[in-house]
Amino acid sequence: MKSWLDALHAQTARCILVTVATLAGSGPRDPGAKMLITATQSFDTIGGGHLELRAIEIARAMLSLPSGTLAAERHVQRFVLGAGLGQCCGGVVHLVFESIDAANAAARDHIAALTERCAAGVDSWRMVSLDTPEQPGLLSEGGSDCHIFSDATGQRWMQDPCLVHRHHLMLFGAGHVGAAIVRALADLPCRVTWVDEREEQFPADLPANVRAELSDTPAALIDLAEEDVSFLVMTHSHALDQELAEHILRRSAFAWFGLIGSDTKRALFERRLLERGITAQQLHAMVCPIGIAGIGGKAPGVIAIAVAAQLMQVWEAQTESSF
């Protein structure tokens, strides 16, 4: 599924960005969730089935109006999910409908700036006026939640955090399994740095959350990585796997480390790494074999699903422990 920002970046005509601005009670998506609607297509999701159908109807009605008027540019609507839409989650949602003319220079600049900041791992906060059709502003600081507020003059605004994904995977190896894992993670809330020295191994089109790193010295990237990075090693060479494993285990901090291989490979690596001064306690942090229990298939796609699920378990546990 193409993300709203990727889809918005590719647009050349007027479209409607729909944002879950507030949520009271239970809802299909949290505040900040978005979908982009054009005259013929929709991208990403605000969840909820009937809610999305109504959002698409409202958005396309806005697209039928002449641009420039407030009715065509901004719309805020309250939805009672249970009584109003017959949805079992039963909460109350406010959706903000925002017209974006992708052919307009100011809008293009806004989209480009947001795209560049996200690609660079920089958080942004969009400030969207709900009572005027003016272009949104872009801030470098703000609150953590999407919400609607009124300023001193009574004008309503939506503060819309566009935060980069906190979970970062550094994946070493662009073979069949590595490529399958990248595809499996494409729509998940994470950033992936995909490392290999073989340029021809990387596909021409990478998912938006993936950055390819061509490197003849991959171990150096380990030393420079942030403390909360997760590592996954699956190169074409057991000798390189061992070198990378040693560098990772000698680090003072990392979020998670997985090494592709069997119990036999783990035993071999443990013996060799102990000989090189890695302690038994350090080795305990190495996950090998990888993948959640109960999935034993060895096809790349099967391994990818098992590993993606394992990473989501790890990352969600880390998120919960941080609160």
pLDDT in tens, 241-259: 999 999 999 998 999 999 9
Please state, in angstroms and rounded to a whole number, the distance separating the CA atoms of residues 104 and 95: 24
> In the sheet that 34-37 helps form, which strands lie side by side, from edge to edge?
42-44, 34-37, 14-24, 92-101, 74-80
**Contact between residue 158 and residue 19 where contact means Cβ atoms under 8 Å apart:** yes
Please state, in angstroms and rounded to a whole number, the distance separating the CA atoms of residues 219 and 203: 23
Vertex 263 angle, CA 258 and 269, to 5°: 65
pTM comes to 0.75
Q: What is the pLDDT of residue 122?
A: 87
Confidence of residue 89 (pLDDT cuts 50, 70, 90): low
Q: What is the pLDDT of residue 2?
A: 66
Rounded to a whole number of angstroms, the CA Rg of the chain reads 23
Contacts of 283 by beta carbon, 8 Å cutoff, 6+ apart = 249, 270, 273, 274
Q: What is the pLDDT of residue 319?
A: 78
Say which range, 141-145, 183-187, 244-248, has the weakest mean pLDDT: 141-145
Token duo for residue 41: 């297509």
Confidence of residue 322 (pLDDT cuts 50, 70, 90): low
The neighbouring-strand residues paired with 101 are: 14
| pLDDT higher than threshold 90 for residue 116 | no
Q: What is the pLDDT of residue 1?
A: 54
Strands 156-162 and 124-129: antiparallel
According to DSSP H, which parts of 252-299 are helical? 263-275, 280-283
Report the pLDDT averaged over residues 15-23: 96
Q: Closest Cα partner for 135 from 73, 77, 75?
A: 73
Q: What is the pLDDT of residue 318?
A: 86
Say which range, 37-51, 81-95, 129-143, 159-173, has the weakest mean pLDDT: 81-95
Q: What is the pLDDT of residue 203?
A: 94
Please state, in angstroms and rounded to a whole number, the distance separating the CA atoms of residues 225 and 146: 30
Please state, in angstroms and rounded to a whole number, the distance separating the CA atoms of residues 141 and 118: 14
Please state, in angstroms and rounded to a whole number, the distance separating the CA atoms of residues 226 and 251: 10
Q: What is the pLDDT of residue 49?
A: 80
At 269, the amino acid letter reads F
| pLDDT higher than threshold 60 for residue 180 | yes
Domains of the chain listed by start with CATH number = 4-117 (no CATH), 168-321 (3.40.50.720)
Q: Coil, strand, or helix at residue 149?
A: strand
Please state, in angstroms and rounded to a whole number, the distance separating the CA atoms of residues 257 and 254: 8
H and E: helices and strands count for the chain: 10, 15
Burial class of 235 by CB neighbour count within 10 A (0 to 12, 13 to 18, 19+): buried
Report the pLDDT averaged over residues 152-168: 92
| pLDDT higher than threshold 60 for residue 323 | no
Confidence of residue 202 (pLDDT cuts 50, 70, 90): very high
| pLDDT higher than threshold 80 for residue 85 | no
Question: What is the average pLDDT score of the chain?
Answer: 91
